[in-house]
């Protein structure tokens, strides 16, 4: 009996993880991108499989969204844009441990196309929001039920994504977290925000949080000087800045390295009392 028990355990350990649930509508370009991501981040891709994440196609067939749903009833969503040259698998690995038990799912848009670092190698904010809008509608998301997060280059693009959410009257985002990525004044959508193309208060009714690390290697682009300017800018355009998180000892990717930072953001998103 003991030998049978040991053999059963060994068989379970050796069994392959279930494959990611693929939408049958995934186009060839998106399949290529997905396979590239699996090769680039094999451990995190396997983690996504073990967690039961699924792949949903984008409407243009160019990419995909990685969606993870908790076991408990879903109360809301974290919608996230990864950093430059990165993968949706990275966002799931970073966020999922903090979402357990909160009733929050995750939707990570693969907004980099896997080649190059020029602007056309990524979805522009207008196209990123198109995909997020369609996904959240499919998921049955209600107004204010999603937290929008962007890291680094993803953060630099969420200013436009957030403004588009208000302009569309969807108001999906109850909180926006700009994580180590400032609002570049020469970025086309930011110029449109500044010029009034989105109205006089394009971030009206939106709550924001900014994060920066004191040891960020690009302080004027992604570090604390940049994020202070970004916070001032979104407030100027109607946002409410709930919190400015500055970690003097953190580098560019410091937000997820300290549980307290993630806990603070999620608690504020879920309406919990958080000490200053």
Per-residue pLDDT tens over the stretch 12-42: 333 344 467 655 578 999 999 999 999 999 9
What is the reported pLDDT for 4?
A: 36
pLDDT for 7 beyond 60? no
CATH number of the domain to which 95 belongs:
3.40.50.1820
Q: Across residues 160-181, what is the average pLDDT?
A: 98
Backbone angles phi, psi at 50, to 5 degrees: -65, -35
Residue 263 lies in a domain: yes
Residue 127 lies in a domain: yes
What is the reported pLDDT for 70?
A: 96
Provide the 8-state DSSP code for 201.
-
What is the reported pLDDT for 37?
A: 97
Tell me the CA distances in angstroms from 154 to 53, 109, 177, 180, one per residue in order. 21, 10, 11, 9
Residue 46 lies in a domain: yes
What is the reported pLDDT for 19?
A: 62
User: Hey, is 54 helix, strand or coil?
Assistant: strand
Per-residue pLDDT tens over the stretch 190-203: 999 999 999 999 99
Give the DSSP H/E element, type plus range, for residue 247.
strand 240-247
Residue 201 lies in a domain: yes
What is the reported pLDDT for 101?
A: 94
State the total domains in the chain: 1
User: What's the pTM value of the predicted model, to 2 decimals?
Assistant: 0.92
Domain of residue 23, residue span: 17-269
* 102 contacts 270 by C-beta, under 8 angstroms: yes
Residue 4 lies in a domain: no
pLDDT for 52 beyond 60? yes
Distance CA 202, CA 194 (A): 9
Residue 207 lies in a domain: yes
Residue 36 lies in a domain: yes
Per-residue pLDDT tens over the stretch 221-253: 999 999 999 999 999 999 999 999 999 999 999
Q: What is the mean pLDDT of the chain?
A: 92
Cα 249 from chain centre = 23
SS3 readout for 10-26: HHHHHCCCCCCEECCCC
What is the reported pLDDT for 275?
A: 82
């Amino acid at each position: 009996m003991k030998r049978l028990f040991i053999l059963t355990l060994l068989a379970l350990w050796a069994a392959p993880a279930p494959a990611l649930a693929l939408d049958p509508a995934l186009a060839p370009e998106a399949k290529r991108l997905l396979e590239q991501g699996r090769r680039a981040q094999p451990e995190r891709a396997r983690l996504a499989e073990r967690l039961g994440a699924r792949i949903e196609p984008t409407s243009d067939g160019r990419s995909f969204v990685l969606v993870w749903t908790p076991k408990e009833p879903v109360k809301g969503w974290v919608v996230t844009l990864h950093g430059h040259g990165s993968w949706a698998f990275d966002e799931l690995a970073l966020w999922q441990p903090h979402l357990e038990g909160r009733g929050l799912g995750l939707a990570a848009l693969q907004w980099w196309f896997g080649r190059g670092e020029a602007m056309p190698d990524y979805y522009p904010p207008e196209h990123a929001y198109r995909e997020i809008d369609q996904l959240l509608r499919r998921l049955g998301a209600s107004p204010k039920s999603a937290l929008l997060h962007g890291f680094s280059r993803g953060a630099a693009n969420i200013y436009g994504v957030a403004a588009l959410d208000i302009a569309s009257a969807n108001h999906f985002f109850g909180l926006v977290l700009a994580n180590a990525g400032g609002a570049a004044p020469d970025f086309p959508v930011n110029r449109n925000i500044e010029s009034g193309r989105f109205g006089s208060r394009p971030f009206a009714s939106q709550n924001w949080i900014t994060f920066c690390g004191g040891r960020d290697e690009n302080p004027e682009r992604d570090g604390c000087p940049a994020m202070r300017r970004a916070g001032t800018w979104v407030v100027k355009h109607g946002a409410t800045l709930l919190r400015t998180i500055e970690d003097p000892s953190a580098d560019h990717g410091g937000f997820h390295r300290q549980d307290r930072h993630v806990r603070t953001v999620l608690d504020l998103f879920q309406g919990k009392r958080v000490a200053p």
